Amino acid sequence: MSNPHRSGPRSLGLPFPGQTGPLNAITDLPGLEVGHVTLISDEGEGAVRTGVTAVLPCGKSGAHTVPAAWFSLNGNGEMTGTAWIDESGGLTGPVMLTNTHSVGVVRDAVVAWGRARGWAEAWSLPVVAETYDGFLNDINGFHVTQQHAFGALDTAAGGPVAQGNVGGGTGMIVSGFKGGIGTSSRVLDGAVPYTVGVLVQANFGAREDLTILGVPLGQEIPDLLPEREDTGGRDGSIIIIVATDAPLLPHQLRRLARRAALGLARTGSVAHNGSGDIFLAFSTATPEIDGGLEHWRALPNASLDPLFKATVEATEEAIINALFAAETMTGLHGRTVHALPHTRTLEAMWKYGRRGDRGQGQKPSF
């Protein structure tokens, strides 16, 4: 599970660029809520290492529909509801993250949850996205239930977000290390300090490609590979959720979603053939309704560069935060995936001059 004793990379001196919000999380967006249900039980053939994560753009009592857009960098994955996002320019309801074979039950649960809360729509097209956790989890045991999805939705809240082996990220792997849920944020300078928040469910990459702040970490730590029959480990997926309170139109949000690919690339991803790299961006700045008309406000395209930069930076850091938060896990058939070793990682960062405290004159003791 997420371990509060596993320090984050910023607290260990890694010099990520940009100004974060107070939580360095997607919940730095006012009103946005995140909830997890984590399922860890049994060993051997029936090992359960999975869960559900819910992201509610404006909370359980806020705006029901927000402007949104999505982008697929590589489409060996699933995110339901995207055809209607393309058509309408809006995201209605929460965003749910789970494992590949639980998309259906979670989707149906969102419909039932919304009906119970009095959603007025006669129909619903929920957004549920997945990554594959079948190396560690008995994915064909269908252990995620409607009640688990309800739990993630009902317990969603603002404040700090648990990261690593939690929720939908419980059984996920990044470049042969334990991965999972990660989050980060950026606050922009200016008269109105807009915020960009990112949450990832990370389950992608090959060890030799893993990069942190430009350091070829996967080449520095080639061991501690998953204990598995095949050692390729190249395929996988990542779901990236980008949220902002900046007033943007759907076509501008699609531009924002595309920039998440640049943050992903900074960590060494090449979007392998078998990877589902699917990104969603939304704005919590909803239009005003007056006399049957929607009154939209939007930033001019020429002012979007700071938002693009913030998205790239927050995406990169969210992925690295997932790696630093996750713990070693043993799951299905006794397979083990090791956590990123903090001490060796920091020594590699020092070697390449990427430690924030390097200028203090002597190598720190790890």
Among all chains, which residue has been given the structure tokens 């490609």?
209
Residue type for 336, please?
A: T
Average pLDDT, the chain: 93
Amino acid 232: pLDDT: 47
Q: At 358, is the pLDDT very low, low, confident or very high (cuts 50, 70, 90)?
A: very low
pLDDT value at position 121?
77
Which of 119-133, 147-161, 206-220, 224-238 comes out lowest in average pLDDT?
224-238
What pLDDT digit, counting tens, does each position of 259-287 carry? 999 999 999 999 999 999 999 999 999 98
Among residues 237, 245, 269, 283, the one annotated as catalytic is 237
Structure token pair of residue 248: 């943007």
Distance CA(110)–CA(96), nearest Å, equals 9
**What's the pTM value of the predicted model, to 2 decimals?**
0.95
What does the block give as tokens for 53? 């994560």
Taking only the tens place, the pLDDT of each residue in 58-84 is 999 887 899 999 999 999 999 999 999
156 vs 288: which has the higher pLDDT? 156
Give the list of residues 6+ apart from residue 179 with CB closer than 8 angstroms, or none: 169, 172, 173, 202, 203, 204, 322, 323, 326
User: Is 237 one of the catalytic residues?
Assistant: yes
Please choose, from the candidates 222, 226, 227, 223, the residue with its C-alpha nearest in 3D space to the C-alpha of residue 203.
226
Q: What is the pLDDT of residues 1-57, one digit of tens each?
A: 455 456 789 999 999 999 999 999 999 999 999 999 999 999 999 999 999 999 999
List phi, psi (to 5°) of 294.
-95, 125
- CA–CA distance, 205 with 298 (Å, rounded to integer): 36
How many degrees, rounded to 5, is the angle at CA 207 between CA 223 and CA 272? 155
What is the sign, positive or negative, of the torsion defined by CA atoms of 12, 18, 21, 26?
negative
Q: What angle do CA 51, 54, 60 make, to 5 degrees?
A: 145
Name the pLDDT band for 311 (thresholds 50, 70, 90): very high
Question: How confident is the model over 185-198, as pLDDT tens digits?
Answer: 999 987 778 999 99
Spot the catalytic one: 175, 269, 275, 283: 275
pLDDT confidence of residue 228:
65
Q: What percent of the chain has pLDDT over 90?
A: 85
Coil/strand/helix, residue 288: strand
| Residue 359: pLDDT band with limits 50, 70, 90 | very low
pLDDT score recorded for residue 360: 45
Phi, psi of 129 (to 5 degrees): -120, 160
Q: Which of 138, 245, 277, 283 is labelled catalytic? A: 277
Tokens of 166: 């939690």
- E-only strand ranges, the chain: 33-41, 48-56, 65-75, 90-92, 95-99, 127-131, 173-174, 177-178, 180-187, 195-203, 237-244, 276-283, 288-290, 293-295, 329-330, 336-337
Helices (H) and strands (E) in the chain, counts: 7, 16
